[in-house]
Amino acid sequence: MDIHEYQAKELLANFGVPVPRGGVAYTAEQAMFRAEEIGGSRWVVKAQIHSGARGKAGGVIVCASEHEVRVAAADLLGKCLVTHQTGPAGKVVHRLYIEEAVDIAREAYLGLVLDRREERVCVVAAPQGGMEIEEIAHDHPESILREVIEPAVGIQPFQAREIAFGLGFRPAEVNQAVKAIIGAYKAFRDLDSTMVEINPLAITSSGKVVALDAKMTFDDNALFRRPNVSELRDYAEEDPRDAEAAKYGLSYIALDGSIGCIVNGAGLAMATMDMIKHAGGEPANFLDIGGGASPERVAAAFRLVLSDPRVKVVLVNIFAGINRCDWVAQGIVQAANSVRVPVPVVARLAGTNVDEGRRILRESTLRITTANGLAEAAQKAVAALGLDGGGARSDVTRGAA
């Protein structure tokens, strides 16, 4: 899970990492209010989206008056920022962070990552900050410093000092940098983080070391024991389909074909995608609805798969071991009654109570093609694409509007 810059800064500050004064704002008025509250004469208005490289995309604006803060805030809110991390669709700005502007004398890079090969937390640092680590690795590979942390004892002051000196900090700055590095490490470890990035870690013209930007990622599997972290989740930043899938315990991955898949079991879902390809089609998604495919889950799966406008056929492939085919069939019927299913559906059921399951589908008023085997199901799904001319959606529910 990712969080916003302002949230990461608040967490890091609790561990002693120095950050500028700032406040979050959801409207231009609040932004102005924040500027007044912070005081001083220059502020930075920063778009809060889960992406780096906002500066280059116009998402970081330095302002010299409260009026400018208001104008910058009004400009950014609701705007879609396209950075090279967001993809071409970009991300809409809903929150802003207003900070006191600082005079930057120098920018350095500081990151903490989980090095899976070393099985250790690794501190990565470079004297050139403000640009991305990939760029630094490309342009100045020799300047990147690494320090592997021994988990039994944690980061040692000498390691933090080595990094600080390696970054070229002057004696007066080293102690501040050490505090920032140790603080970032403790936050990483104590909050079950998988990545902390402070870029830039800046030195101001008055010799203060301060984290001007902050990014944190957390281990999803540890969120249950970090309620203060998991409450920072911003659903607006996530693909709504991922969020919907997670709500129902479905594993969904969007692909770019036209045959929507609803399958139980990850292995069977993979095999189904292979068979679709083998039959000459392209899967629109990977979807594992899990073992207990309740009618609600099947309905949620249909909604999810059909939310992709490229889907022209839905292929349901259920092998009922723990589950029962009759329940799954009821789920499909219930789903088709609660969700508009505007495309042909091909269903292959196998396993427990399969005859009863097929009877339910047959006797329903739905236009569902049944198939006996996986290969047959894939062929029928591809054939259904052709029948449609691959284009128009027609309703599977007889008589439905």
The structure tokens listed for 140 are 């100045």
Q: Beta-carbon neighbour count of residue 53 at 10 Å? A: 16
Active site residue 109: yes
Q: Which DSSP category does 33 fall into?
A: H
In the complex with ligand GDP, the residue whose CB is nearer, 57 or 341, is 57
Minimum distance, C-beta of residue 130 to Mn ion, in the bound complex (Å) = 7
What is the spatial distance between Cα 46 and Cα 58, in angstroms, rounded to a whole number?
9
In the block, tokens 């780096």 appear at 52
Q: Which of 13, 38, 92, 101: binder of ligand GDP (CB under 6 A)?
A: 101
Active site residue 248: no
Is 130:140 a contact under the CB 8 Å cutoff? no
Within positions 43 to 72, which residues make up the interface with ligand GDP, using CB under 6 A? 44, 46, 52-55, 60, 62
102 binds, among ligand GDP, Mn ion, none (CB under 5 to 8 A by kind): ligand GDP
In the complex with ligand GDP, the residue whose CB is nearer, 52 or 344, is 52
The structure tokens listed for 98 are 């207003």
In the complex with Mn ion, the residue whose CB is nearer, 216 or 361, is 216
60 binds, among Mn ion, ligand GDP, none (CB under 5 to 8 A by kind): ligand GDP
Is 335:304 a contact under the CB 8 Å cutoff? no
How many residues touch ligand GDP (CB under 6 A)?
17
Active-site entry in 185, 197, 237, 252: 197
What is the spatial distance between Cα 80 and Cα 87, in angstroms, rounded to a whole number?
11
Report angle CA 258, 89, 215 to the nearest 5 degrees: 120
375 binds, among Mn ion, ligand GDP, none (CB under 5 to 8 A by kind): none
Shortest-Cβ-distance residue relative to Mn ion? 213
What is the spatial distance between Cα 25 and Cα 77, in angstroms, rounded to a whole number?
10
Within positions 276 to 335, which residues make up the interface with ligand GDP, using CB under 6 A? none
- Kind plus residue range of the DSSP H or E element containing 273: helix 266-278
What is the spatial distance between Cα 197 and Cα 134, in angstroms, rounded to a whole number?
13
104 binds, among ligand GDP, Mn ion, none (CB under 5 to 8 A by kind): ligand GDP
147 binds, among Mn ion, ligand GDP, none (CB under 5 to 8 A by kind): none
In the complex with ligand GDP, the residue whose CB is nearer, 211 or 259, is 211
Which residues, in sequence order, are CB contacts of 194 under 8 Å at separation 6+? 113, 114, 217, 218, 219
Minimum distance, C-beta of residue 83 to Mn ion, in the bound complex (Å) = 11
Active-site entry in 5, 6, 97, 109: 109
In the complex with Mn ion, the residue whose CB is nearer, 85 or 337, is 85
In the complex with ligand GDP, the residue whose CB is nearer, 106 or 297, is 106
Within positions 122 to 161, which residues make up the interface with ligand GDP, using CB under 6 A? 130
Q: Which residues pair with 109 in a beta bridge?
A: 126
Minimum distance, C-beta of residue 265 to ligand GDP, in the bound complex (Å) = 40
Phi then psi for residue 389, to 5 deg, are: 70, 15
User: Which residues form the interface with Mn ion (CB under 5 A)?
Assistant: 199, 213
What is the spatial distance between Cα 2 and Cα 220, in angstroms, rounded to a whole number?
10
The structure tokens listed for 81 are 């920022």
Which positions are annotated as active-site residues? 109, 197
Q: Site residues (CB under 6 A) for ligand GDP?
A: 44, 46, 52-55, 60, 62, 101-102, 104, 107, 130, 199-200, 212-213
